Structure 1
Amino acid sequence: MAKLTEQDIIGWKGSEDDYMNADQLEFFRERLLQMKEELVINATQTTNHLQEQEATPDPADRATLEEEYALELRTRDRERKLLLKIDSTIRKIDDNNYGFCEDTGEPIGLLRLLARPTASLTVEAQERRERQKKQYAD
């Protein structure tokens, strides 16, 4: 069978028994690997950019540069955490546990996974966790 496209995923009308079949798992594996590759490229570009840093005598320019670098490093730190989540998600695909809610065991849903391939909870379970977190924070 040909590789699935995003349109195939959006228009999927299969049965529950066919949810997370081999073709769907391969589609999401490819999507995750592509995300990972983009993040690694971004990290490499940041490293190169920071190594090209030139000293500037003007304190205002230096402060601006430092702020830009700090923002870039925060972004890369978020991406580093996402890389770990991508690797964890790929392991779930390998173990045939991908696409099912960690809390309820229910299908997460193809559209949610298309929007957020690393999702590990259904929308309802995610909302429940966020409400609980908010209650403890208040």
Structure 2
Amino acid sequence: MTTPVIESPQNSNKAAKADPKLANAWKTKSGAELTDAEVLAMPDSEYMGPKQVEFFRAKLNELKNGVLSNAGETTEHLREDTSIVPDPADRATIEEEHALELRTRDRERKLLKKIIQSLARLDNGEYGYCDETGEPIGLGRLIARPTASLSLEAQQRREMKQKMFGD
């Protein structure tokens, strides 16, 4: 298995800043209308400014609505599929599908908790900054994982500790 190469926020910002259209697009749009590339092209001085806060709030709310929608669909799907199937193999298949769907929803439930925490961090001005170091997390990481609360380096240190000492 290969490890994905993650560009540092500085490198990805420089690539986006090369396009003058992207570099100035953020000035005329609301934060919710901005694209990922336009946010990455914003100057470093705008980090977690009002437009970026609005951008990430919209992104987190969209993610939250998707998770809630999926939860409703699961409930309906499980209600529909309550028919009794006489064949043991078919019944086992249906039960396995239900178990898989419930595990997926459990992961989404945990994600929903992180989304709500991230929205609260946006409200109190802590969003975008590492919980451990207080340094900026970086736009690239936040766009890829809007619920991130640790910088890449702090996350790597935490994972290394977990690997060495267990959970």
Shorter-chain-normalised TM-score: which range? Answer: over 0.9
- Find 1:63's aligned residue among 73, 92, 96: 92
Gaps of 5+ in 1: none
TM-score, length-normalised on structure 2? 0.79
- 1:9 to 2:39 alignment: yes
**Equivalent residue in structure 1 for 2:108, among 68, 76, 79:** 79
> RCO higher in 1 or 2 (8 Å CA, sep ≥ 6)?
1
Q: CA RMSD in A?
A: 1.2
Instruction: Please point out which of 27, 32, 49 is paired with 1:21.
Output: 49
Report what 2:137 is aligned to: 108
More deviation, 5-14/76-85 = 5-14
Report runs of 4+ in structure 1 exceeding 3 Å deviation.
Answer: none
2:136 partner amino acid? P
Number of residue equivalences: 136
Contact 1:9 1:111 in 2 (8 A): no
Q: Partners of 2:122 and 2:156 in 1: how far apart?
A: 24
Q: Which residue of 2 aligns with 1:137?
A: 166
Equivalent residue for 1:31, pick from 36, 59, 70: 59
Gaps of 5+ in 2: 1-27
Q: Tell me the TM-score normalised to structure 1 length.
A: 0.95
